[in-house]
Amino acid sequence: MKTFNNSNGAQSESTLVKYGLIFTAICFLTIMLLVPLITIFIEAFRKGIEAYFLAFNDQYVLQAVKLTVITALIAVPLNLVFGVCASWAIAKYSFFGKSVLITLIDLPFAVSPVISGFVYVLLFGAQGWFGHWLIENDVQIIFAAPGIVLATIFVTFPFVARELIPLMQEQGNDEEQAALLLGASGFQTFMKVTIPNIKWGLLYGVILCNARAMGEFGAVSVVSGHIQGVTNTMPLQVEILYNEYNFVAAFAVSTLLAILALLTLVLKYSLEWKAKKQLEKLKEEE
Amino acid sequence: MRLNFNILKRPKSSIPGFGLTMGYTIFYLSIIVLIPLLALFTEAFSVGWEKFFSATTDARVVESYKLTFYTATIAALVNTFFGVIVAWCLVRYEFFGKRVFDAMVDLPFALPTAVSGIALTTLYSHQGWFGKYLEPIGLKIVFTPIGITIALIFIGLPFVVRTVQPALEELEVEQEEASSSLGANRWQTFYKVILPTIFPAVLTGFALSFARALGEYGSVVFISGNMPFKTEISTLLIITKLEQYDYAGATAVAVVMLFISFAMLLVINILQRWSSKRRGMEAI
Amino acid sequence: MNIKVKNLTKYFGNFTALDNINLDVVPGELLALLGPSGSGKTTLLRMIAGLEVLDDNDIGEILFNNENIADKPIGDRDIGFVFQHYALFKHMTVFENIAFGLSVKPKKERPSKSEIETKVNKLLKLIQLDGFAHRFPWQLSGGQRQRVALARALAVEPKVLLLDEPFGALDAKVRADLRKWLKELQSEIGITTILVTHDQEEALEVADRIVVISKGKIEQIGTPEEVFHNPKNEFVINFLGNVNLFHERDENSEQKYHIRPHELEIVLSSSSDVISKAQIKYIQLAGSQVKIDLQDLENGKTILVELSHHEFKQKSLNIGDIVGINPRQLRTFKDGAGI
């Protein structure tokens, strides 16, 4: 890494400009990010620790936590399997229409969360394509847990694939071909050669996917129906508590989500650091 | 024509698993993403042109588009200005707490939007840390377009920083050295050498931040107050219409939004290609 | 093992990578595929390995011991392949890399742990890397990685060894050492080996036979002596070293001669019967031979001549001298385009 510490005249800014810029940046980040983050915890503990913990002594809150975890436990593995398949198909072969496929996989990121939820209402809602059939067979998807899971899968769809595709493209096919030539089966090659090479990218994708799955609000809000204790995830429960003017409880539940977010950031940061190291090692190799 | 026959054929390869992985990819992509989106478009068609037109040009709807565009543009501009400064400081300077701030830039990605929404609303309400100083001087933020803009700045903040940062990191010091050895002062060097090189990245960051702001819901809904004609953004209007079982109206607004999103996606793709091209040229 | 390539034509899109290739590899020989980059030599090697597949519109077949291997999975072809950039498994130690082929065998055929260990240790000794078993690839030098890649390929006792630009990424000194070592190793094991290279010196030094390839076509097959001294056409003579081109005009025709720098003789200008007269422009004394650049007085073209230091001293040549040039030998091509 090159450093930019030289302070000779025209090649770097005057000290005044430098500290002015740093001051501006820190102020902006503090006002926009740090203070809102601190507010969550301050508000949660505004009425003391007891009030804070009391907020979790609520059946609806606990059920919301449970539904959130279950949703993530379904959505993340499904998107993980998809991400691995898609990146294998895209990185290991050349075929017509590859860039279109990559764009399609990225599509859910471009769609507003509200619309992501809405499309499932159009499919599975009472007036939707399959609405009639679903009512006849007594299956409920919209305003029930399955709808929440589907909407969550939609909004977290690209995370793993998007991390793995460039990674696997960069690594090429040589190691896999070497393994196959040495007699390994396709599955052995995948498990023993491919997976160790992509494991950090995989983990990175899973962490981001999980954070979004547990925190999604807009999309699940459309399909949930907001039935406390039944179809509320944690972010939806936050909304209800807030609208009921139960601020301490709303922020108490928020602290859990904020801690999850902070944990995600720490993991993300350390994985990026690890990936950087690995890249340097690879560069040495060349 | 050999090529024409090759298009739909599965590629032959020494690596096994194409059929399985590609088959599953297409299947999963179709049921999760493509068919649902298709449902939206078919629904829009079945609404009928006249109804569609009147639903999308309804005064309340038009007002929501205006507000959405207006606030998203300002938020993206603010993010572009400060985002470049933040990226510059993170790449070029050492300062206390740099690593923490660097990691924290991604907070809006990681924090659920509902949580950011209530935190911002609390901060800027008349009892909040910021609101209690701003309201006496006549600056009301909560339940006004300013509040919406602040929420949109929050959620779009990482985009500019994270696209400009790598562009700055790749910038060759030699170019700046050459510029200053040719007699340019620091500002000229920034304006004539650095800025043109990172400009595509800056524009990409702006577009990403803007696109995200267009579709945002969670962080805005608390601070906006949702007053029709005043602080009602388009995504919120979709939900309102849905709650009134006005599926046709919701569909119409959603399709227009989706088209704008796709157009933005196209623009961003082009910008990214331009950006990587420009950076690729430096490597030569 | 006997390898036959019959009428092989391979397309990549609209590009013809290989154009009607016919090749017979003699068991036990070391065959070099020599050609410039983009000539198709690596494609040919990868097709023999099965890494590139015959598409529907490609033509021809590849036979191992007279058996068409088109549908044979690449793991069953008994091939040892050494990649240009080695493709060592980054997350495995040297030991694990070499043992990989043995450890993925089906349970029934898989050797026991101790057998694998004995075998790997033997190979480590063979590649002179005993003591490096627990290092990772990134802790090795380029030459060491190259040898590990070779040992990994040899561990499963392949019947053919295929090497793709095996010394391409190494320093000149390491290259020379490894080349010699590989040649000795190959003749010791007696394994049929095909090696791809763009370096004519490398091919001339190690190969039993050389296949010169250009633009997807075979230009010549022969022993190093044959291709060097009796090149079949202009491409081959140009590719296998420096060459001077002379024209001789009759009343009705023009004759071309290709003469290598060491095949030219410098005669002091007093003698009359020379093919051209030239002025010495540059003398390079460093190296095993003296290299002299001359300018043809008639047409201004540059002529390259190489002679021994001994001869150079005898003739006491200086920059600016005007001398005569004569071939020590003349050679003509069969296709009429004389040399």
Our measurement of the distance from residue B64's CA atom to the centroid of its chain's CA atoms, rounded to an integer in Å, reads 18
Strands C3-12 and C15-25: antiparallel
Max intra-chain CA distance, chain A: 78
- The answer to whether A151 faces chain B, any CB pair under 8 Å, is no
Nearest to C51 among B2, B9, B14 (CB): B14
User: Of chain A residues 49-68, which have a CB less than 8 A from chain B?
Assistant: none
- Taking only the tens place, the pLDDT of each residue in B155-191 is 999 999 999 999 999 887 888 888 878 878 888 888 8
Burial class (CB in 10 A: 0-12, 13-18, 19+), B156: buried
- The answer to whether C101 faces chain A, any CB pair under 8 Å, is yes
Question: What does the CA dihedral C176, C180, C181, C182 come to, rounded to 10 degrees?
Answer: 100
What is the DSSP-derived secondary structure letter of residue C289? Answer: S
Q: Considering only CB atoms, which chain A residues are within 8 Å of C138?
A: 281-282, 284-285
Tokens encoding A230:
């039944």
pLDDT at C338: 42
SS3 B250: helix
Q: A94 and B176 in contact by Cβ < 8 A?
A: no
Whole-number percent of chain A with pLDDT over 90: 75
> Smallest Cα–Cα separation from A201: which of A80, A75, A98?
A80
Residues 6+ apart with CB under 8 A from B74: B149
Query: C5 φ, ψ to 5°?
Result: -110, 125
What is the DSSP-derived secondary structure letter of residue C237? Answer: H
Residues 6+ apart with CB under 8 A from A220: A117, A148, A151, A152, A233, A235, A236
Q: A175 and C137 in contact by Cβ < 8 A?
A: no
Task: Spell out the CATH class of B57-283.
Answer: mainly alpha
Q: Is 60 exceeded by the pLDDT of residue A9?
A: no
Max intra-chain CA distance, chain C: 82
Q: C75 and A178 in contact by Cβ < 8 A?
A: no
Chain A: partners with 3+ C-beta pairs within 8 Å:
B, C
SS3 B111: coil
Enter the pTM of the model. Answer: 0.86
Distance (Å) from the C-alpha of residue C198 to the closest C-alpha of chain A? 20
- Taking only the tens place, the pLDDT of each residue in A106-146 is 999 999 999 999 999 999 988 888 888 898 898 889 999 99
Q: A89 and B114 in contact by Cβ < 8 A?
A: no
pLDDT at B110: 93
Q: A182 and C89 in contact by Cβ < 8 A?
A: no
| Cross-strand pairs, C23 | C5
Instruction: Report residue B275's pLDDT band, with 50, 70 and 90 as the boundaries.
Output: confident
* End-to-end Cα distance, chain B: 37
pLDDT at B283: 40
d(CA C264, CA B74): 79
8 Å CB contact between A219 and A200: no
Nearest to A114 among B102, B130, B217 (CB): B217
Q: Considering only CB atoms, which chain C residues are within 8 Å of A286?
A: 85
Query: C274 φ, ψ to 5°?
Result: -125, 160
pLDDT at A6: 44
Distances from the Cα of C254 to the Cα of A252, B129, C278, angstroms: 96, 96, 21
Tokens encoding B100:
């923490």
What is the DSSP-derived secondary structure letter of residue C83? Answer: B
pLDDT at C271: 61
Chain B: partners with 3+ C-beta pairs within 8 Å:
A, C
> Smallest Cα–Cα separation from C27: which of C74, C68, C78?
C78
Question: A197: nearest CA in chain C?
Answer: C91
Strands C30-34 and C209-214: parallel
d(CA B73, CA C293): 69
Chain C: partners with 3+ C-beta pairs within 8 Å:
A, B
- Taking only the tens place, the pLDDT of each residue in B102-127 is 999 999 999 999 999 999 999 999 98
Most A-contacting residue of C89, C109, C110, C123 (CB-CB within 10 A), to test interface: C89
Nearest to A239 among B34, B114, B130 (CB): B114
d(CA A56, CA A162): 36
Tokens encoding B3:
């090529």
8 Å CB contact between C122 and C130: no
8 Å CB contact between C333 and C233: yes
> Smallest Cα–Cα separation from B140: which of B131, B129, B128?
B131
User: Of chain B residues 52-81, which have a CB less than 8 A from chain A?
Assistant: none
Tokens encoding C65:
């011991």
Nearest to C105 among A179, A183, A281 (CB): A183
The residue type at C134: H
SS (H, E, C) chain A: CCCCCCCCHHHCCCHHHHHHHHHHHHHHHHHHHHHHHHHHHHHHCCCHHHHHHHCCCCHHHHHHHHHHHHHHHHHHHHHHHHHHHHHHHHHHCCCCCHHHHHHHHHHHHHCCHHHHHHHHHHHHCCCCCCHHHHHHCCCCCCCCHHHHHHHHHHHHCCHHHHHHHHHHHHHCCHHHHHHHHCCCCHHHHHHHHHHHHHHHHHHHHHHHHHHHHHHCCHHHHHHHCCCCCCCCCHHHHHHHHHHCCCHHHHHHHHHHHHHHHHHHHHHHHHHHHHHHHHHHHHHHHC
Nearest to C79 among A181, A184, A196 (CB): A181
Q: Considering only CB atoms, which chain C residues are within 8 Å of B14?
A: 50-53, 74
pLDDT at A126: 83
Q: B2 and C50 in contact by Cβ < 8 A?
A: no
Question: C158: nearest CA in chain A?
Answer: A182
Residues 6+ apart with CB under 8 A from A85: B20, B21, B22, B24, B25, B28
Distances from the Cα of B76 to the Cα of A2, A26, B152, angstroms: 31, 19, 8
Q: Is 60 exceeded by the pLDDT of residue A18?
A: yes
Q: Mark the ranges of chain C whose per-residue pLDDT is less than 50.
A: 334, 336-339
pLDDT at A286: 52
Which residue bears the tokens 């050494």? C82
Instruction: Report residue B3's pLDDT band, with 50, 70 and 90 as the boundaries.
Output: very low
Q: How many residues does chain C have?
A: 339
> Smallest Cα–Cα separation from B82: which of A33, A37, A5?
A33
Distance (Å) from the C-alpha of residue C52 to the closest C-alpha of chain B? 7
Whole-number percent of chain A with pLDDT over 70: 93
Tokens encoding C252:
């009705």
User: Of chain C residues 141-200, which have a CB less than 8 A from chain A?
Assistant: 152-153, 155-156
Strands (E), chain B: none
User: Half-sphere exposure of residue A267, counting CA atoms within 13 Å on the CB side?
Assistant: 19
> Smallest Cα–Cα separation from C91: which of A82, A29, B113, A175?
A175
Residues 6+ apart with CB under 8 A from A211: A260, A261, A264, B109, B110
- Taking only the tens place, the pLDDT of each residue in B20-63 is 999 999 999 999 999 999 999 998 888 888 888 888 899 999 99
What is the DSSP-derived secondary structure letter of residue C277? Answer: E
Most A-contacting residue of B26, B115, B176, B273 (CB-CB within 10 A), to test interface: B115
Q: Considering only CB atoms, which chain B residues are within 8 Å of A157?
A: 32-33
Q: Considering only CB atoms, which chain A residues are within 8 Å of C51?
A: 177, 181
Question: C110: nearest CA in chain A?
Answer: A183
